[in-house]
Structure 1
Amino acid sequence: MTFLKNYVKRKKLFLGASFLKPQNPVDYDSPPNKHERNRDIEKYFRPSCLPLLNKRIDNLSFFDPYYDKKTSQITVPANLLHSPEETILNYFSILREAENLTSKKLGGCGTVGFAKIPFPLAYQFLTREYQKEMPYRSYLKSFEGIGHTNLLKLEKVPTLEGSRWFIEVETIEGTDKLSTNFAYYYGFVEVQQDKSLFKISRITLYPEDFLCAAYHGWDHDAEAVVDVKFGEWCGLIKKRMPTKKDGFVKTIEVIGKDGSDYKFIFFQLTNNTDVLISQYKRKPGGPWELSNLDPESCLNNKTRS
């Protein structure tokens, strides 16, 4: 257990999640001119207009049964945990009006939302193992500066085992300038089943940058990623088919030089950058199967040869 406690100390926590460095586009050496697209960069600077998903709780009376209880005494109602998707939606619905503004990160004019009342109940959505890694005091501290949280995107991520979900959240955060700012984060929620209930076993978040992709590299663009990383680095592509877009999901299929077909699924973030979520391979006459080709290893092998 000492390892887990040290792990939490080393990892930065934010919004009850492991907070990792942004996956910013990488300026690889001089990609071909066809990837230096003349494009309208204004799209990289705009906030979200999406409707929020976490709007199931809008009355403070919902928290009445939990007022006088210690965090350890609170039990989440089973009807809020009956599927992975419901667990995540209910968790973020509880957190939507929760705030932990501080003297250094101010916002609002008086009481904001439901104040800190929702946090103890939200904490009980986490598995016991996750709670051991992140005690309640650390969990609450990870929300410092947060005045409001909106869940904008929720999508299941294909995995060979377990239950993993993509999320994107929008927060309103306090500042030391008497103003409040919108910020965006994306990441993944892992859900674990305990008998007939589902609880959150891990959350990982990455910050979104609105000044990087417009000026640097091509690594944020789905088509360029497929062309360069899987085409030029791995020598995989014979022909790339037109991109299919459904909301924030971008699907790119290619015909491989090896006779197999390949499919790449990207999710588009609020800052209009594309994140590769999953890969598939289909051998001639066969079904689509999850794949995990690492283009970085292709590049390293190419560099060594």
Structure 2
Amino acid sequence: MQKRNQMDITSYHQKYFRPSCLKALNLRFTSSEFYSLFSEQTHDQIKLPPELTRTPEDTLINYFSILREAENMGGRSCGTVGQAHTPFPIAYNFLSKEYQNKLSYDEYLQSFAGIGHTSLIKLSRVPDVKKRRLKFFYEIETIEGFKGKRAEYFGYSYGWIELVYEKDGFRISDLTKMEEDFLCAPYHGWDHDGEDSVEVKYGSWCKLIQQMYPTVKNGYLKNIYFRGNDGADYCFIFVTLTNGTDVEMAQLRKGSNENWKQVNMKPEEECLTEQRMFIDPNGK
């Protein structure tokens, strides 16, 4: 795109090649006394104190705080790292009963293979106008290393967490995790940038955009607004990852004399498919 060609190449590379400097959010339970309360118990014997899961935010901050110094690297030459495996059975009890039925403790432990330290650097609740579900975006910075490698390295991952309320507090009912790439964004494509993505998908593909409005940024969140050819206003909320990529978090639409409503537009399916059918009715 022309906009990208005009961008200063130095600032463009700085956007994607520089890692996060954000402070960690998961700084609770820094004393070993907390972990000693559970050190002799297996995952199915642990009962979490109810104050750890009173609110959705507390549940997630406490969950990642417990995982902060959890280590599953297969042994390091320097000796014990952090709290070793002790945090894992505690953290497993932050999962809902239904989620535990789908994910055994051994599978849960294996999902942390190679990780020696975890910092939660971003956490944001996903807007839900109808308040039907509790969903959060998160991003973590991990120190990783595998047996046989002499050096550790930083890794960045992000994903979505859903929660449900059980009788003794909020629990994690689903969690996705995606590793971030630091080479694709600076070298390829408009779809890593929120503004460009909206303009291409809803302007070029769907012919929906009448007028783009200024983007509103708040830290790592950005709201991208436009006026639609259908007379409605649209707001697309993105999260900017450590690798500089913008990830769509929510879509909102407001018609005349209406409040914002959640929508789920899929331009790849709805608009590109129509264009292909127009060019060739047989879809070839």
| Superposed pair shares fold, TM > 0.5 | yes
Match of 1:109 in 2: 78
Aligned pairs for 1:251-270 (under 5 A) are 251-270=223-242
Residue 109 of structure 2 corresponds to: 140
1:218 aligned partner, one-letter code: W
Q: How many Å apart are 1:144 and its aligned residue?
A: 1.2
TM-score normalised to the size of structure 1?
0.86
Q: Secondary structure at the match of 1:71?
A: coil
**More deviation in 169-178 or 139-148?**
169-178
Deviations 1:193-213 (A, max 9, x none): 013510011110111000001
Q: CA deviation at 1:77?
A: 0.6
In structure 2, the partner of 1:208 is 180
Q: Secondary structure at the match of 1:280?
A: strand
CA deviation vs aligned residue, 1:231-270 (integer Å, no higher than 9, x gap): 1111110000111111000111101111111111100000
Q: Which residue does the alignment assign to 1:170?
A: 141
1:152 correspondence with 2:125 = no
| 1:271-294 residue CA offsets vs partner (Å, 9 max, x unmatched) | 011011111111112111111111
Aligned-residue offset at 1:63: 1.4
Which stretch shows the higher mean deviation, 69-78 or 88-97?
Answer: 69-78
Identity among equivalent pairs (%): 48
Specify the alignment match of 1:49 in structure 2. Answer: 21
Q: Over residues 144-203 of structure 1, what are the superposed CA-to-partner deviations in whole Å (9 max), with x where a residue is unaligned?
A: 111000000110002342100000001000143311000000001110101351001111
8 Å contact kept, 1:36–1:218: no
The aligned residue for residue 280 of structure 1 is 252
> Given the two structures, how large is their TM-score scaled by the length of structure 2?
0.92
Match 2:264 to one of 292, 297, 305: 292
Q: Deviations over 1:38-96 (max 9, x none)?
A: 34222211111000000011111101221222211100110000011110100000000
1:121 corresponds to 2:90 = yes
User: Which segment drifts farther, 275-284 or 193-202?
Assistant: 193-202
Name structure 1 gaps, 5 residues minimum: 1-31
Unpaired segments of 5 or more residues in structure 2?
Answer: 279-284
Q: 1:94 aligns with which of 66, 80, 92?
A: 66
Please give the alpha-carbon distance, in whole angstroms, between the structure 1 residues aligned to 2:244 and 2:6. 15
Q: Does 1:192 align with 2:161?
A: no
Letter in 1 for 2:184: C
Q: Distance in 1 between matches of 2:187 and 2:166?
A: 46
The 1:251/1:260 distance shift into structure 2, 3 A limit, reads same
Matched residues in 2 for 1:92 and 1:291: separation?
31
**AA partner of residue 110 (structure 2):** K
Q: Secondary structure at the match of 2:26?
A: coil
- Measured in 2, the distance between the counterparts of 1:230 and 1:152 equals 31
Instruction: Supply the distance in 1 between the matched residues of 2:6 and 2:246 (Cα, whole angstroms).
Output: 15
**Aligned counterpart, 1:74:** 46
Counterpart pick for 2:202 among 230, 236, 244: 230
Larger mean CA deviation between 260-269 and 284-293 belongs to 284-293
Partner of 1:50, secondary structure, is: coil
Do the aligned partners of 1:35 and 1:224 also contact (CA within 8 Å) in 2? Answer: no
CA distance in 2 between partners of 1:287 and 1:196 (Å): 35
1:34 Cα deviation after fit: 4.4
Amino acid at match of 2:186: A
Identify the residue that residue 222 of structure 2 maps to in structure 1. Answer: 250
Q: Which amino acid aligns with 1:304?
A: M
Q: Which amino acid aligns with 2:100?
A: Q
Corresponding letter in the other structure for 1:93 = S
Q: Distance in 2 between matches of 1:74 and 1:183?
A: 30
Cα distance between partner residues in 1 of 2:112 and 2:236 = 34
Alignment of 1:28-39 (within 5 A): 33-34=2-3, 36=5, 38-39=7-8
Aligned-partner Cα distance in 1 for 2:5–2:160: 30
